Amino acid sequence: MLSTLKSKLATLGPGLLMATAAIGGSHLVASTQAGALFGWQLIWLILLVNILKYPFFRFGVQYTLDNQQSLLQGYQQKGRGYFYSFIVLNLIAAVVNTAGVLLLTASLLHYALPWQVSVTLLCWLILAVCLMILLLGHYKALDAAAKIIMLLLTITTVFAVIIAASNGATAPVDYAGPSPWQLAMLGFLVALMGWMPAPIEISAISSLWLKAKLRQQPISRQQGLFDFNLGYWVTVSLALVFVSLGALVQYGSDQPIALAGAAFAQQLIGMYSATIGDWTRPLVALIAFLCMFGTTLTVLDGYARSLNESFRLLGWQSSNNRISQPCWLVAQALCGMAVILFFRSALGPMLTFAMTLAFLTTPVFAWLNFSLMRNNPTRPLKPLLVWWSWLGLAYLVGFAVLFLLWYSKLLQ
């Protein structure tokens, strides 16, 4: 039994990397704000969207384990239309999501530092450190850092929620907060679901991370799915924990809820210190920053891998990954910074834009994964996963159409 446990722990990596990429804007920002603004009202929506997206994330790992190929190779074999659709959407997502997580990381560091430094300068500094780590350390350094950061964040957040629950909710028993179930809140709901549990193109990136892990050691199908399921459901559980933290500590309080910038970072750290104790403020600020720093690392690495592999499969660049992948990494980083400069380091609009775009592109990526797995020659999909996928697609498409109709009326 001990040897089985050791073998499972040794194969952990790609699933935890996905979790590290996920626990960023969707958890620290969107989930916490959902609890702070609306209490427990949105907890079922967060759980539902994570459950409905599950098959499409699972397909990225399952396809690689079954066929010893990445999802990108599957897209290419399925047809040019599928492959080009992925490349175009992935290019946009790489730049926008890099900008979003980098700006949030810089905002947290801006609050944690004892001296004043501009957020834009911090973005440049964080980007330089991330590039140095990835260009020198590659996958092994990323793999090790992800496990440490995830463990610290999980322990701290769960501990804070347990103490907050024992202290009782801040909101009075008869407090009636605002309702999220109105058209005016549709933009917030779509942004909330966009990065839950992560942008869905992470499924293709997980496939590439798994291939990198397979080059280091053999991984069975059972071990690979165990790693994925562990990372995915830990991510889902932490989303609910962050909602609980916002609902217990901030919902119903007299303090206005900050939705962006250094003010939100201050309130986020304040939630932990208010429950655990003020002495924890520097420690929690460091852990929150490390969490977002880990997300920035994984986003940079993952999208650079997917862009490099996409254009390698097209035959438009050299097959030497030691040269081409660092070039994509630097190009992606610089384009992300360009987006931050365009938004003038405004965290709120930047994150809302990134999350909304992620949700609107989710049905396309979900369909790509599902259509590929439906015709998987190695191992056909079980009927449960087929119906689960159709249900998820109906939900995602329906909500996306509703949002576009609502937004078009706003522009009129």
Q: What CA–CA distance (Å, rounded) separates 281 from 274?
A: 9
Whether 3 is covered by a domain: the verdict is no
The answer to whether position 345 is within a domain reads yes
Domain for residue 205, yes or no? yes
In a domain, 6, yes or no: no
CATH number at residue 148: 1.20.1740.10
How far apart CA 183 and CA 334 sit, in angstroms, is 37
CA distance 334 to 90: 16
How confident is the model over 369-395, as a mean pLDDT?
A: 89
Token pair listed for 380: 């056909």
Question: Looking at the 3D structure of the chain, how many domains does it have?
Answer: 1
- Does 208 or 264 have the greater pLDDT score? 208
Q: Where are the beta strands (DSSP E) in 181-223?
A: none
Is the predicted pLDDT of residue 2 greater than 50, yes or no? no
How many angstroms separate the CA atoms of 132 and 51, rounded? Answer: 36
Structure confidence by residue, pLDDT tens digits, 255-291: 766 655 556 667 777 777 777 777 777 777 777 787 7
Digit-coded pLDDT (tens) for 24-60: 667 777 888 888 889 899 999 999 999 999 999 999 8
How big is the chain, counted in residues? 412
Q: Which domain holds residue 103?
A: 16-411
Identify the residue whose tokens are 């599957």: 74
Angstrom CA distances, 90 to 24, 94, 96, stand at 19, 6, 10
pTM of the model: 0.86
Spatial separation of the C-alpha atoms in residues 364 and 370, rounded to whole Å: 10
CA 105-92-147 angle, 5° bins = 40
**Would you say 319 and 307 are in contact if contact means Cβ atoms under 8 Å apart?**
no
State both tokens at 105: 């990381």
Q: Does the residue 1 lie in any domain?
A: no
Is the separation of the CB atoms in 393 and 366 below 8 Å?
A: yes
pLDDT at residue 363, rounded to an integer: 92
pLDDT number for residue 144: 66
Q: What is the pLDDT of residues 127-159, one digit of tens each?
A: 999 998 888 875 566 666 666 776 777 787 788
Task: Check whether 347 has a pLDDT greater than 90.
Answer: no
Helix (H) or strand (E) holding 172: none
Is residue 287, in this structure, part of any structural domain at all?
Answer: yes
Query: Do the domain assignments include residue 9?
Result: no
Question: Residue 330 has what pLDDT?
Answer: 92
| Confidence (pLDDT) at 33 | 85
Structure tokens at 212: 């990198």
Lowest mean pLDDT, pick from 249-263, 285-299, 359-373: 249-263
Residue 102 or 254, more confident: 102
Q: How many helices (H) and strands (E) does the chain have?
A: 15, 0
Residue 7 lies in a domain: no
Helix (H) or strand (E) holding 218: none
